[in-house]
């Protein structure tokens, strides 16, 4: 459903994403892990069509994003890590706006908006300006907006930030049911338990390159480790902190 071919992004002499090749299949929940500055958000922003790759190709459902951006983008729902919502419009107005941006004008739109708001428990705030929303409520509204036009792929950067446990659980169930019905999710997260529990396959990225990819079993095989948890695997691949650093900070 998503194919990245030799995807590269350079900022001057700094290479943020370095020749990434990746295929994410239809009906798959794919997790992207990596330390801060690994290149995850840059990759996601290229897939969403916000920034252009320096070289390489992105295909969404077989459609080249560079050649047919409008058609490719229409298949995608993007949830950024820093949610932006216009302050002076209401939640319902925002969802109507996003639906219109993606050409979803069908007569059932109002019902769908109500369903999404109901799902994310935003109905009482439906007609309130979004400036009065909390961070978590804005995050929920953004997630709802990504689903409003019934996309085939969801690209989501750090979905759990700011959500309460109930919201986080709802999101997990939503993504799982969405992929069970044929949707595709590409998700980045720092919550390793979430990735381990939810994702069909995982890629671990560092320094703009993919270090390892596959199911949990395949990852264990690739790293030739007996690590039982994803956290151990992750730290083994990306390197961790040292005890003396903690001692120095804490004055121990």
Partner 1 sequence: MALRKFRGPGLWIVLGPKWQAARARLREQHAGAGPRMVLLALLAVGFWSGVFGIVYRVLRYFRGVADIGDLLSAKLLGLALLAFSSILLLSNVITALSSFFLAKDLDLLAASPVHSIRFYLAKLVETTLHSSWMVALLAVPLFAAYGIVYGGGPLWPLVVVAAFIPFLVLPAVVGSALTLLLVNVVPARRAKELLSLIVIGAIGTLALLLRLAQPERLIRPEGFRSLADFVAMLQAPTNPLLPSEWAMRMLMNWLLRVADPWPVVALWGTAAVALVVGGILFRWLYRHAFSKAQEGAPPAGGGRRLAAVLGTLLRGLPAERREFILKDTRLFFRDATQWSQLILLGVLLVVYLFNIQALPLFSGDRVPTPVVTLVAFLNLGLAGFVLAAIAARFLFPSVSLEGRQMWLLRSSPLDLRSMLWSKYWIGTVPLLILALAITLITNAILRASPFITVVSAGTMVLFTLAASALALSFGAFYPRFDTENAAQIPTSFGGLVYMMTSVILLALVIMLEAPAVATRIQAEQAGTTVVWGVGLLGPLVAAVVLCIAATLLPLRLALARMERLEF
Instruction: Name residue, tokens 């799902």.
Output: 119
Residue/partner pairs of 162-165 with CB below 8 Å, 24 or more apart: 162/135, 162/136, 162/138, 163/136, 163/139, 164/136
- Give yes or no for residue 108 binding partner 1 (CB under 8 A): no
Q: Which parts of 109-138 interact with partner 1 (CB under 8 A)?
A: 129
- Which position among 28, 93, 115, 196 is part of the footprint of partner 1 (CB under 8 A)? 93
Closest CA to 174 of 115, 223, 218, 109: 115
Identity of the residue, 46 or 230, whose beta carbon is nearer to partner 1 in the bound complex: 46
Distance between CA atoms of residues 139 and 230, nearest Å = 26
Q: Helix, strand, coil shares of the chain as percentages rounded to 5?
A: 40, 25, 35
- Which position among 71, 132, 164, 173 is part of the footprint of partner 1 (CB under 8 A)? 71
- Cα 101 → chain centroid: 20
- Give yes or no for residue 14 binding partner 1 (CB under 8 A): yes
- Give yes or no for residue 88 binding partner 1 (CB under 8 A): yes
Distance between CA atoms of residues 33 and 155, nearest Å = 14
Q: Which parts of 28-47 interact with partner 1 (CB under 8 A)?
A: 45
> 105-124 b/e with 16+ CB inside 10 Å = b?
eeeebeebbeebbeebebee
- Give yes or no for residue 185 binding partner 1 (CB under 8 A): no
The CB-of-167 to partner 1 minimum distance in angstroms stands at 21
- Give yes or no for residue 76 binding partner 1 (CB under 8 A): yes
The CB-of-78 to partner 1 minimum distance in angstroms stands at 5
Identity of the residue, 99 or 210, whose beta carbon is nearer to partner 1 in the bound complex: 99
Identity of the residue, 102 or 234, whose beta carbon is nearer to partner 1 in the bound complex: 102
| SS3 (DSSP) at 79 | strand
The footprint of partner 1 (CB under 8 A) covers: 11-12, 14, 45, 48-52, 69-71, 73-76, 78, 80, 84, 86-89, 93-94, 97-98, 100-103, 129
């Amino acid at each position: 459903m998503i194919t990245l071919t030799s995807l590269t992004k350079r900022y001057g002499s700094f290479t943020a994403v370095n020749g990434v090749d990746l295929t994410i299949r239809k009906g798959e929940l794919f997790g992207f892990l990596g330390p801060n500055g690994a290149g995850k958000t840059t990759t996601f922003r290229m897939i969403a069509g916000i920034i252009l790759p320096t070289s390489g190709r992105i295909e969404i459902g077989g459609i080249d994003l560079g050649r047919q951006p409008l058609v490719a983008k229409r298949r995608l729902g993007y949830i950024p890590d820093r949610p932006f919502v216009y302050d002076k419009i209401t939640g319902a107005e925002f969802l109507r706006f996003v639906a219109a941006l993606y050409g979803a004008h069908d007569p059932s739109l109002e019902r769908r908006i109500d369903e999404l708001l109901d799902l994310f428990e935003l109905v009482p705030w439906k007609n309130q300006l979004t400036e009065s929303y909390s961070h978590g409520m804005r995050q929920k509204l953004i997630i709802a907006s990504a689903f409003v036009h019934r996309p085939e792929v969801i690209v989501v950067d750090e979905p759990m930030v700011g959500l309460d446990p109930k919201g986080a659980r709802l999101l997990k169930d939503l993504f799982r049911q969405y992929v069970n019905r044929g949707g595709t999710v590409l998700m980045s997260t720092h919550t390793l338990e979430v990735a381990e529990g939810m994702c069909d396959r995982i890629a671990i990225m560092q320094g703009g390159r993919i270090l390892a990819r596959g199911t949990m079993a395949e990852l264990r095989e690739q790293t030739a480790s007996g690590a039982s948890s994803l956290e151990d695997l992750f730290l083994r691949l990306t390197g961790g902190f040292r005890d003396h650093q903690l001692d120095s900070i804490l004055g121990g």
